[in-house]
Amino acid sequence: MNELPGQLPGQLLVIGGGRGIGAAIAACWPAQSTVWTRSGGVDATDPAALQTAFAAFQSRHGAPFALVHCIGDFAERPLLGTDPATWRELFASNVDSVFHSLQAVVPAMVALGRGRVILFAAAGVDRDRAMLRAPAYFAAKAAVVQLARSLALETAPRGLCVNVIAPGLIDHPHSHQDSQRRMLGRVPAGRLGHVDDITGLVRYLLSPAATYLTGQVLTVDGGLQA
């Protein structure tokens, strides 16, 4: 049986890993992780900033083995109560930052002929149902799923695996705790998720055991009935 990795075969690049889930992922491989954050000088909505940052990364490390993108602002508003500025901010944070990050980093991984890409959506976005709680946010995350599936098909012949983690209610110091408290009664598992519930899945996706898994949305939500 393949074991989960104690050490990766290359560098891990975490975009948005300054806190919460992203920071926990980077902490799993502290000696091999590079973290990009806006506060650290890399704005993932800015293509030029990403290209500059990746040029510096590549000159030091070469192409990364894995890219994990964790950025994504949240707003819990009805559709008709969502103003244009909030709509644009949600799509810039959740979709534009993914597109620009993939454009900057993935071609080097394709050239290397191996690699893993993990993007983050939200539980329920791949279901055929209305999402009344935060429709603009879920629309943005649905776009992330489509980008991931398209990239998975495009890069599978070159040895890449591209997957999406769709968390439910994950408790950490920067989570949206008011919303989580209201939704907890809809979780059959009877508890909020822990960051370890996510990092365990990331460890699997970056392991040799996951070389035949691509284009999938992996939901971690305790059975959440959204």
* Residues designated as active site: 137
Is residue 121 within 8 Å of residue 147, measured between CB atoms?
A: no
Is residue 212 within 8 Å of residue 111, measured between CB atoms?
A: no
| CA–CA gap between residue 111 and residue 168 (Å, rounded) | 34
Please, which residues have CB within 8 angstroms of residue 78's CB and are 6 or more apart in sequence?
Answer: 132, 135
Please, which residues have CB within 8 angstroms of residue 204's CB and are 6 or more apart in sequence?
Answer: 4, 210
